[in-house]
Amino acid sequence: MTAVAASLSILRPTLAALAAAGLLLAQPLARAADAHGDGHGAAPAAKPAAKPAAKPAAADAHAEPAKGGAHAAPAAAGHGKAAPPPPSGADPMDTLRDKLAQKLGAAKAPDAPSPYVMRVVAKSGEELHGGEAGKVIKKLRTEKAAAGHKADPHAAHWSYGGDGGPEQWGQLKPEFAKCSSGTRQSPIDIRGGVKVDLEPIQFDYRATGFGVIDNGHTIQVNLQGGNAIEVGGRRFDLVQFHFHRPSEERINGRQFDMVAHLVHKDPEGRLAVVAVLLDRGSAHPLVQSVWNNLPLEKGQEQGARVQMDMNHLLPADRRYYTYMGSLTTPPCSEGVLWMVMQQPVTLSTEQLAVFTKMYPMNARPIQQASGRLIKQSN
């Protein structure tokens, strides 16, 4: 009893503060303090009965708190529900323990050796903040986490300079990884080709309808079906052709004013590209036909009212260089069969200026040949 009384003497100020905060009944607190004496083990002397006095509302833990009064905060913490009065004859210390447990979200441990052992369980966000509030908080946290990993649409837009330039292509999107990690990339500086009797490319081109589109990276011409090439025992259909300035390919270090890439695809999806080098000279009728049908807006295809015969774009000399490479734009897919015509064709200075006004530079830098075999026609 001496230890208990000493402990209660130490706790007396704390218990009084809790009572003032609404955690305890003021009256049971007084009884608890008196019941255990003055800290020396002596029973308290009987006190003469006093006339009951009217208690102020703030001192009555069971009274309805006034708006904005001392009990407003505890009521809110308990979701507006008043705590039930303790049963008659209840131990004030039990009352204190139960109220503290209620505030801390604790429960009596079923396997505890003593009824005074409590287990505190962390509450979820919804329990702490209310069902709806918890959902809102959870949603905000999820959106914040997602925003931290959201790709920037501008960062993923590739270009030929600045932040989205060729040096960053491989980091812009996972599917662009080959642009930086590939070992068979294009374009290359074609040097030291092995001269052999290359199989001639069989061009099966004919006059067809076409449309012109400015795709934001180049001027592209989409052709209707019926055009194809045959090489290496395979047939590749011509899908489209487009331009680069200056030429992406170099021949023994020499770069040309422009190049046209004729993109073909076989039924299995394999690609074969014929590159026609363009050098300044006389005007080219087929190039002029493309310029005549330039669309006024990017991304909108302008259908031509005339037909185009792709045989007119090819040089008279059909000898070529060939090697295995990649697309020269993202995603830089490898396994592309390249055939670069040895003889360039011409376009006028005025025709060159038309493209230069829209795309002064849209050529990928030269890539490492990495020991690839390059063959050329005798």
Catalytic residue set: 217
HEC string for the chain: CHHHHHHHHHHHHHHHHHHHCCCCCHHHHHHHHHHCCCCCCCCCCCCCCCCCCCCCHHHCCCCCCCCCCCCHHHHHHCCCCCCCCCCCCCCHHHHHHHHHHHHHCEEECCCCCCCCCEEECCCCHHHHHCHHHHHHHHHHHHHHHHHHHCCCCCCCCCCCCHHHCHHHHHHHCHHHCHHHHCCCCCCCEECCCEEECCCCCEEECCCEEEEEEECCCCEEEEECCCCEEEECCEEEEEEEEEEECCCCCEECCEECCEEEEEEEECCCCCEEEEEEEEEECCCCHHHHHHHHCCCCCCCCCEEEEEEECHHHHCCCCCCEEEEEEECCCCCCCEEEEEEEECCCEEECHHHHHHHHHHCCCCCCCCCCCCCCCCEEEC
